[in-house]
Amino acid sequence: ILNVEQSPQSLHVQEGDSTNFTCSFPSSNFYALHWYRWETAKSPEALFVMTLNGDEKKKGRISATLNTKEGYSYLYIKGSQPEDSATYLCAFIISGTYKYIFGTGTRLKVLA
């Protein structure tokens, strides 16, 4: 059974703080890793698609890194804002089958 784990499960930060969380995945059979942001009552929105070991992607104040050899990805948010409050999901895509395995998500609450 392939497991994708995210930590922490939830966290609260103050507006302006920077934060990061982790997605751990199997280091074998790797095709790609996706990050999504899921706000309450909205559709999950794709943030990053990461495919190569050492990848670093950035979108505004949010960035992500990828280490396929050790099986982890970090998502960073710089200067958190209340609108960043959401659940952040990672999804591991299995090489060959292209099946997606989602993590349980990290629920972020940014306090004004």
Partner 1 sequence: SAVISQKPSRDICQRGTSLTIQCQVDSQVTMMFWYRQQPGQSLTLIATANQGSEATYESGFVIDKFPISRPNLTFSTLTVSNMSPEDSSIYLCSVRTGLDYGYTFGSGTRLTVV
Question: Burial level of 9, CB count in 10 A (0-12/13-18/19+)?
Answer: exposed
The residue (of 38 and 76) whose beta carbon lies closer to partner 1 is 38
Q: Which of 8, 16, 100, 109 binds partner 1 (CB under 8 A)?
A: 100
Per-residue binding string, partner 1, 27-46, x by CB under 8 A, is: ----xx-x-x----xxxx-x
33 closest CA partner among 7, 58, 67, 59: 67
The residue (of 71 and 105) whose beta carbon lies closer to partner 1 is 105
If binding is defined by CB under 8 A, does position 62 make contact with partner 1?
no
Supply the minimum distance, in Å, between the C-beta of residue 80 and partner 1.
23
Question: Burial level of 83, CB count in 10 A (0-12/13-18/19+)?
Answer: exposed
If binding is defined by CB under 8 A, does position 71 make contact with partner 1?
no
47 closest CA partner among 94, 102, 88: 88
Between strands 10-14 and 62-67, the pairing is: unpaired
List of residues contacting partner 1 (CB under 8 A): 4, 31-32, 34, 36, 41-44, 46, 49, 51, 89, 91, 93, 98-105
